[in-house]
Structure formats: structure tokens, C-alpha cells
């Protein structure tokens, strides 16, 4: 009997350890929020420059071969109300009162681009059980592979921006989301939304450079005039980054094989920016950055902490299942105890037969 009591103690100890490991996540074991890769690509969306022409929405549809979606009775124009499995980019409008002034919180209106933020530590990538959603280690693009996808839609549920969307109207529905036009990169094209933007409200580039550009704008005097780039941001150090000058031919990373295009910079009035680059720190940072004059929550961008949910989730998983140590320890204890008790059980059964 004392033997058995010891086994019981063993079980209690094992389950106690399991419980303790769950309850007391230590900082040392926790998986830190990941940072953007150094050569991360992204977009800078400046709501104060956006005129709401939706050229980017049309271009996105075209290059991704997506059909028009209708929300009006006369099925004439592409009028999606939100991004969907077939609409990867959308300009939404904020309206207040009389809507007199652009970019005013009261009695004003403003625009906001909705598309994948390409998080440094994406929830969708952490959630995906079959690696259909992955983050490119070089340029940081969050890529989707329909051939791997099982359609569980955990990525849809996980994303705080509501970006991955599923095609519910098809028996073979896929997830649809912006992939920064990665399928066009090999032809020297960058994101179509930035390519066609007439005001430079959507600008393509290396996220680090875009962040510097965003901070330059925040330091400008509202109402003054300044030069704004359009299309693709081409910082002076681009050649150095591409490995031509100091890379000594060793860095074969073909990052910038973009098509030649004339400098499209132009002068415009500086907006009345909030001193906040959205995406600099949210969820560990995103590769798409945003500037706005109207509070971000009001234009549909959620208020997010600096730690990514993926880090919390993976901390728990690694703590409980890291190297499968805990499951095997508990299994060992359980096997040990069960072996004794099952024998005991069979013994009882044979006893019972003898009685009969």
C-alpha cells in the first residue's frame, strides 16, 4: 500500500510540475516578439496625401486577377465594402458631421488604406498549422501558399487587422490577402497600389527607409510646402544596400532590380499629422506604416500593444512542449502508475471469476 501511495505522490508531483509550468511563465523562457528583418519591404500610407481616387484599389484588382465585387443594386462598379477573399486592398472613408474639412476629426472626412500590414511577428504565420502562411526571411513579406492551405481559417481569426480573408462562396475557397505584389517583383514591378498612386499617398520601399521618411514628415511644419516622393522611395543609399559599392560583389541579394522610372517627386502641403507612425511599434512593428491626422482608432486601425500575440502563444507552446520534455515526463509518470494499477485491476477480475 505504501508503494502505491508513493506512486500517487509521483503523479501529484508530475501534475504539479505541469501546473506550475503553466501558471508561472518566466521571462527567461518567454519567446520575445520578433523584429522586422533588416531588408524588410513595405509601404508608407500617408492619409493626408490620399485623395480617395481608389486607383490603388483598381490596380490591385487588376494585377491579382480579382473580380469586381458589388454592394449596389446596379452591378456597374467594383464597390466592395471591405477587403475580402477577392479584394486585397481598399480605401475606406471616415465621415464626421458636416464633412466640411479633409482630415479633421470633427465635421471632417479622411481616408484610410486597408491591406495587409506585413507584421514583424505575424499572428497568421504563428497560427497556421501547415505553414501555408509564411514570412519571407529576407524581405519579410507574409506569403500565402494555397497548395499547402487546409482552409481552417485560424489565420483569419488570429489577425488583429482582419486581413486574411476566405472565399466562402467557393467549394475550393482560398485565403486572399495582399502579398505586396511579390509575383510581379521578378519583372521589376513593385506593389501596384504604390505604382499607380497619383499623390504618393502610398509609397513603396524598404521599411527602414519608409520609417525615416515618415519621421521626416512628422517633423515638418503643418501647412508649409515640402517635396514628397511618389511610387517607390529611392534613398541615396540604395546602391550601397544592393551590394554594388561596399558589398564587393559578395552580396548576391538581388533586392532592387526594379524597373527604371523617372523621379516623380512633387511639392505638396504638409498635413496636420498626429505624432504617431502607426506600425512602428504595434505588435512588434509592421512593414506597412501609416500616417494620419485623425486618431487611428477612428479610421479603423486597432490600438495594439507592442508585444505580439504570437509571442505570447508560442511562449506557452514552447514552455509546455519544448523538446517534448514535459509530455514525455508526464507520460513516463503515468505509464509507471498505470502499469501497477492495471495489474492490480486484472488481479481483482480474476479473483471475481474464482468467486463465481
Residues between 234 and 293 that touch another protein (CB under 8 A): 283
Are the C-beta atoms of residues 15 and 320 closer than 8 Å to each other? Answer: no
One of 65, 72, 275, 297 touching another protein (CB under 8 A): 297
Residue 225 φ/ψ, nearest 5 degrees: -105, 150
One of 93, 130, 257, 325 touching another protein (CB under 8 A): 130
Question: Of the ranges 36-44, 47-55, 238-246, 337-345, which one interacts with another protein (CB under 8 A)?
Answer: 337-345
One of 7, 208, 247, 280 touching another protein (CB under 8 A): 7
Phi-psi map region of 52: left, alpha, beta (phi>0 left; psi -120 to 50 alpha): left
Beta-strand relationship, 266-269 and 225-228: antiparallel
Q: Within 13 A of 276's CA, how many CA atoms are on the CB side?
A: 14
One of 2, 27, 73, 171 touching another protein (CB under 8 A): 171
Distance, CA of 298 to CA of 168 (rounded, Å) = 29
Distance, CA of 45 to CA of 173 (rounded, Å) = 30
Letters for 13-52 (x = contact with another protein by CB under 8 A, - = none) are -----xx--xx-x---------------------------
Letters for 79-118 (x = contact with another protein by CB under 8 A, - = none) are --xxxxx---------------------------------
- Give the dihedral of Cα atoms 86, 202, 182, 215; nearest 10 deg: -130
Examine residue 305 and tell whether it contacts another protein (CB under 8 A).
yes
Number of residues that bind another protein (CB under 8 A): 86
* DSSP per-residue letters across 120-142: SS-HHHHH-TTS-EEE-TTT--E
One of 55, 59, 127, 214 touching another protein (CB under 8 A): 127
Residues 173-202 that bind another protein (CB under 8 A): 173-174
Residues 316-335 that bind another protein (CB under 8 A): 316-318, 320-321, 327, 330-331, 334-335
One of 16, 38, 129, 188 touching another protein (CB under 8 A): 129
Minimum Å gap between C-beta 319 and another protein is: 10
Scanning the structure block, which residue is given the C-alpha cell 502562411? 133
Residues in Cβ contact with 281 at an 8 Å cutoff, skipping those fewer than 6 apart: 306
Q: How far is CA 330 from CA 11, 17, 18, 153, 317, in A?
A: 8, 9, 8, 32, 16
Examine residue 123 and tell whether it contacts another protein (CB under 8 A).
yes
Question: Of the ranges 77-85, 212-220, 229-237, 270-278, which one interacts with another protein (CB under 8 A)?
Answer: 77-85
Amino acid at each position: 500500500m505504501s508503494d502505491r501511495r508513493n506512486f500517487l505522490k509521483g503523479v501529484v508531483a508530475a501534475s504539479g510540475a505541469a501546473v506550475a509550468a503553466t501558471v508561472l511563465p518566466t521571462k527567461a523562457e518567454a519567446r520575445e516578439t520578433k523584429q522586422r528583418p533588416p531588408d524588410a519591404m513595405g509601404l508608407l500610407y500617408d492619409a493626408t496625401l490620399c485623395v480617395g481616387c481608389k486607383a490603388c484599389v483598381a490596380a490591385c484588382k487588376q494585377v491579382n486577377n480579382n473580380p469586381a465585387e458589388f454592394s449596389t443594386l446596379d452591378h456597374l462598379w467594383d464597390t466592395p465594402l471591405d477587403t475580402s477573399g477577392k479584394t486585397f486592398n481598399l480605401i475606406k472613408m471616415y465621415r464626421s458631421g458636416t464633412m466640411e474639412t479633409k482630415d479633421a476629426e470633427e465635421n471632417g472626412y479622411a481616408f484610410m488604406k486597408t491591406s495587409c500590414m506585413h507584421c514583424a511577428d505575424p499572428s497568421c504565420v504563428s497560427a497556421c498549422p501547415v505553414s501555408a502562411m509564411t514570412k519571407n526571411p529576407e524581405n519579410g513579406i507574409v506569403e500565402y501558399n494555397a497548395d499547402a492551405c487546409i482552409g481552417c481559417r485560424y489565420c483569419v481569426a488570429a489577425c488583429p487587422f482582419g486581413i486574411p480573408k476566405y472565399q466562402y462562396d467557393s467549394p475550393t475557397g482560398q485565403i486572399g490577402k495582399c502579398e505586396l505584389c511579390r509575383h510581379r517583383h521578378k519583372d521589376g514591378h513593385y506593389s501596384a497600389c504604390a505604382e499607380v498612386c497619383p499623390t504618393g499617398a502610398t509609397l513603396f520601399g524598404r521599411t527602414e527607409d519608409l520609417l525615416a521618411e515618415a519621421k521626416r514628415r512628422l517633423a515638418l511644419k503643418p501647412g508649409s510646402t515640402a517635396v514628397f516622393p511618389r511610387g517607390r522611395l529611392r534613398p541615396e543609399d540604395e546602391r550601397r544596400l544592393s551590394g554594388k559599392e561596399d558589398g564587393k560583389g559578395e552580396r548576391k541579394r538581388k533586392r532592387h532590380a526594379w524597373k527604371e522610372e523617372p523621379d516623380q517627386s512633387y511639392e505638396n502641403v504638409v498635413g496636420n499629422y498626429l505624432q504617431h507612425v502607426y506600425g512602428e511599434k504595434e505588435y512588434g512593428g509592421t512593414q506597412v506604416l501609416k500616417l494620419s491626422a485623425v486618431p487611428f482608432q477612428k479610421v479603423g486601425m486597432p490600438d495594439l500593444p507592442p508585444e505580439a500575440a504570437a509571442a505570447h502563444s508560442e511562449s506557452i507552446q514552447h514552455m509546455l512542449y519544448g523538446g517534448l520534455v514535459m509530455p514525455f515526463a508526464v507520460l513516463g509518470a503515468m505509464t509507471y502508475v498505470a502499469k501497477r494499477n492495471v495489474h492490480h485491476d486484472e488481479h481483482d477480475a480474476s479473483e471475481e471469476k474464482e468467486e463465481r
